[in-house]
Structure 1
Amino acid sequence: MASPEHDDLELLKSAGKEAGDLALSYFRRDPQVWLKEGGSPVSEADIAVDQRLSDILRAARPDYGWLSEETVDSPERLGRQRVFVVDPIDGTRAFLAGHDEWTVSLAIVENGRPISAALVGPALSVNYSATVGGGAFNNGRRLAFTPATGLGGARFASATRYTREVEAESGSRTRPRYVPSLAYRLALVASGEIDVAIVRPTARDWDLAAADLLVQEAGARLSDLSGKPLLYNARHTGHPTLVATAPELFDQVVNLVNTVHARHETEGQEKRHGGDARS
């Protein structure tokens, strides 16, 4: 008899496949787009996929809570033992620009940590999945993270100028890879295609939960700069600066991040003082 965790994973994988197919029906077909508060885009594809996932998952597990980027949040989820954490389309800007690197991200969280996850990249033909203690997989192949021997050969995933500064500080001789979808960026760490990914403090539960489990189950590490693992389904869903990399490289990368952060602080103070002097 299949375990509840196996049943949950199969549910996520099935729902992710259906949601991915729905998203593809809008891909490169100029869906209607709005701007959310803060200026980030949301499209009719995001809304349609969110609704489809809600219909499938909540009908199958009515006692589970629900947290999604495109659903108005409710404190009701805080009282549930297990919670679906969903990003209907992670990498909406890439999706709208017609680029392939976007994903459908699904996780089940229990006691603050993901226990099952599926991450589907329909345009990339990738299907990641993981369960606690059961390993992480892509298209049926088990992921085993094998890091670079040192930062000089480390491959960085880049999405912001800040990340590129950290990469430059490391002395890495490789060219950073631009990856617009945060969840996919972290999945590339899990698969060993990327050695280091840095997450700026704008990420939310739905960006991270599924990819977090992939990273951990593949033998890599995702945590904040103090080394603490992430906790999900709290009242506040935001997270601080995070690092995903090999355990043996983690402290070195944190030192690089702190060096860049200190430089930014110094530059900011100099600008403020310069402004005061001119006033």
Structure 2
Amino acid sequence: MPAPDLTLLLDAARGAGEIAQRYWRQEPQVWEKDHGAGPVSEADLAVNDFLRDHLTGARPNHGWLSEESPDEPSRLDATSCFIVDPIDGTRAFIDGQQGFSHSLAVTTGDRVTAAVVHLPILGLTYAAVPDGPATLNGQPIHVREATLETADILAGRPVMEPGFWRDHQAPPFKRSFRPSLAWRLCLVAEGRFDATLSFRAAWEWDIAAGSLIAERAGARVTNRHGRAMQFNSPDARVDGIVIAAPALHAELRGAMVAPIRPV
């Protein structure tokens, strides 16, 4: 039987998907956020409102951290916190693509204790808790093994820049891309890709849920420095991500230039 917080997240994710589908390919209103933070649509806000009402209504003492809500410092004093991206992959959603997701996590302290990533159009629901397997639509999933020479890695173009790598060129892996960062972590978890990688700071709402799903599927999950991720932090960001099966993770870390500023 799923843990209570996981059951709550699963129910919320389904409701979020129903709301998102009302706007998908219906030309929702779209505008740009301040400071070049990217686009947001009326669907993002409608899903955010639903999730906040549904989740904090059930757990009023949990903190709240969402891409589409003003940050509330009180979350740092809460024992548990919801970390939510109402629509991860907003550009894909606006373009009518299928690969957007709802990313929902609960943290206790600085660790994720329940996680759901739901792709309503594709009918995919990934989930995990710390003491069970990662699942896709209720069935266990697991990472696959690869080497740097054979790996298919989900990442943006900047990871190929030579300055990030010890030999001044990226290793000979294949680079692929999907619009939702949360989904990228889950695709590694289910063994469809071998790793996901970013040298840029990642917002917690993009990766909190997927990080636990990937971990419970057998991946090593760290920031770019090889350290465990910590969530519900004041900055709400993680300094890069390296997520892969343990042997490939070690190869990737060994091939990377050590960052100048450790965290």
TM-score scaled by length of structure 1: 0.86
Verify: 1:16 aligned to 2:16, yes or no.
Answer: no
Distance 1:158 1:164 in 2: 12
Task: Check whether the contact 1:158–1:164 (CA below 8 A) recurs between aligned residues.
Answer: no
Structure 2: 5+ residue runs without aligned partners?
none
The one-letter amino acid of 1:67's match is L
1:163/1:113 CA distance change after superposition, 3 Å: farther
CA offset digits 1:122-153 (Å, max 9, x no partner): 112100010011111001110111212x2211
Fraction of identical pairs, as percent = 37
Q: In terms of Rg, which structure is larger? A: 1
1:147/1:81 CA distance change after superposition, 3 Å: same
Verify: 1:210 aligned to 2:213, yes or no.
Answer: no
The 5-angstrom pairing of residues 1-279 of structure 1 reads 6-39=3-36, 40-148=38-146, 150-163=147-160, 169-172=170-173, 175-258=174-257
Q: Determine the structure 2 residue equivalent to 1:267.
A: none
Task: Check whether the contact 2:143–2:244 (CA below 8 A) recurs between aligned residues.
Answer: no
The residue matched to 2:13 in structure 1 has which SS? helix
Task: Check whether the contact 1:204–1:237 (CA below 8 A) recurs between aligned residues.
Answer: yes
The residue matched to 1:30 in structure 2 has which SS? coil
Task: Check whether the contact 1:119–1:127 (CA below 8 A) recurs between aligned residues.
Answer: yes
Deviation, 1:177, is 2.1
Distance 2:231 2:160 in 1: 24
**Structure (1 or 2) with the greater helix fraction:** 1
Task: Check whether the contact 1:82–1:110 (CA below 8 A) recurs between aligned residues.
Answer: yes
The one-letter amino acid of 2:71's match is D
TM-score scaled by length of structure 2: 0.91
The residue matched to 2:247 in structure 1 has which SS? coil
Distance 1:66 1:206 in 2: 11
Deviation, 1:163, is 4.5
CA RMSD in angstroms, aligned pairs only:
1.9
